Amino acid sequence: MKRLALPEPRLAGKVTVEGALRERRSVRRFASEALTLDEIAQLLWSVQGVTGTGGERTTPSAGGLYPLQMYVAAARVEGLEEGVYRYRVDRHDLEPVAEGDVRIKLAAASHGVEWVDSAPVVLAIGGVVQRTAIKYGARARRYVYIEVGCAAENLYLQAQSLGLGGVLVGAFDDQEVSDILKLREGEEAMALMPVGRPRQ
């Protein structure tokens, strides 16, 4: 496994925001078809992509501190080996974290939720509460969870615009998921979203 530069995100699509909002649904049944690297790049950019010269991103952040960290648990992605990857926002690339398909482990840590291990990829949102606490103290955790909600909705809408689907999963053993994804010290597992093509 090696670091992998991602395709540049597209900044205009065929689906309007209003269209994506109208059609968005939680998807729990996925086709076996692989996702493309372009799709993964677009999904990651929708959550944490840099959109301004001052480092502004697609998801709002209290105080502009950006405590969220995206991870990719890839199983069926064209051009990407099975494994866990960390999204590096500043370089728009993927840094390998662990080899192999971890979806079954993630599903077990999610109390057996079957759609976690059937999707071709699971996107995970981690957060560093301490980064926000430096400025906001005891309210930091609330602000980080607000950001997770914003990030998840971006993922839902971007997936919809790509003809994909997903569902937010919050019921999991935090420590187990953190261990499986090999989150860095100070990072906490906040949410999982299995993503794939909806099964007809």
pLDDT at 13: 84
170 — phi, psi (to 5°)? -120, -10
DSSP string, 128-167: -HHHHHHHHGGGHHHHHHHHHHHHHHHHHHHHHHTT-EE-
- Measured CA to CA, the distance from residue 12 to residue 35 in angstroms comes to 20
Say if 88 falls within a structural domain.
yes
Residue 71 vs residues 22, 75, 153, 200: alpha-carbon distances, Å: 28, 13, 17, 28
Say if 52 falls within a structural domain.
yes
Single out the residue of 37, 53, 33, 34 nearest to residue 45, CA to CA.
Answer: 37
Instruction: Write the pLDDT tens digit of every residue in 51-86.
Output: 999 999 999 999 999 999 999 999 999 999 999 999
Say if 14 falls within a structural domain.
no
35 — phi, psi (to 5°)? -90, 165
Single out the residue of 184, 6, 159, 169 nearest to residue 78, CA to CA.
Answer: 6
Spell out the long-range contacts of 16-24 with Cβ–Cβ below 8 A and sequence spacing 24 or more: 17/157, 19/161, 20/157, 20/158, 20/160, 20/161, 21/157, 23/160, 24/156, 24/157, 24/160
pLDDT band at 200 (very low <50, low <70, confident <90, very high): confident
Q: How many domains does the chain have?
A: 1
Token representation of residue 115: 């759609």
Say if 12 falls within a structural domain.
no
pLDDT at 21: 86
By residue range, what is the domain housing residue 62? Answer: 22-194
Instruction: Give yes or no for residue 175 having a pLDDT over 90.
Output: yes
Say if 8 falls within a structural domain.
no
Say if 17 falls within a structural domain.
no
> Whole-number mean pLDDT of the chain?
95
> What is the reported pTM?
0.95
Say if 48 falls within a structural domain.
yes
Say if 10 falls within a structural domain.
no
Tokens 């309007």 label which residue? 16
**CATH at 63:** 3.40.109.10
Instruction: Write the pLDDT tens digit of every residue in 96-122.
Output: 999 999 999 999 999 989 899 999 999
